[in-house]
Amino acid sequence: NTLKYILDYLLLRDPVVLIKYFDDCMIMRWLWTTAVVFSHILGSALADSILPKIKPFHFSNFLELGMRETVQCAVLAGDPPFDFSWLKDGQPLADLRDISVLKTGDFMSTLMISKLNADSNGNYTCRVSNGAGLDEKSASLSVKSKYNLTFFRKDITKFPIPFIL
């Protein structure tokens, strides 16, 4: 009867997305919540944890070669403990000379690039996970040259419009 009361309460609170049954428990997953319901001879218990939700981040506009950049990945909601990881172009950030990551408290991680170069360009993702699941946000970094360079294709031998001196 206690289990039925708990399930009725949860169903009224959020729409159920996924239910899995195991030998001794049932896992119910909502949009932001995962509930594990244990059923045994002594009664029922409910363990409820909330998925992390990350604040979107973005890189500065007009970044040039040699500049520095810092972005923060902050958790707005969810139950700790959190595990932070950063990716570049879908791959975990390796130990790179000009990039470092600093965990600043329980709810924030900071990505620091000490000297932007052409290899800094790419899509950066912050991924945060906890016992309930994960969330991730991404932003694109584009470094511009401080010089106004124009590149010409060698295979073009004529101007596309008449050139008059």
* Long-range pairs, 103-109, Cβ under 8 A, ≥24: 104/72, 106/80, 106/81, 106/82, 107/74, 107/75, 107/80, 107/82, 108/72, 108/73, 108/74, 108/75, 109/72, 109/73, 109/84
| Residue 34 sits in the same domain as residue 64 | no
| Residue 62 sits in the same domain as residue 85 | yes
Residue 75 within any structural domain of the chain: yes
Render pLDDT for 34-79 as a digit per residue (tens, 0 to 9).
554 545 444 444 455 789 999 999 999 999 999 999 999 999 999 9
What pLDDT does residue 92 have? 92
Residue 162 within any structural domain of the chain: no
| Residue 79 sits in the same domain as residue 37 | no
| Residue 20 sits in the same domain as residue 74 | no
Q: Is the pTM of this model over 0.95?
A: no
Residue 165 within any structural domain of the chain: no
| Residue 57 sits in the same domain as residue 132 | yes
Render pLDDT for 96-124 as a digit per residue (tens, 0 to 9).
789 999 998 999 999 999 999 999 999 99
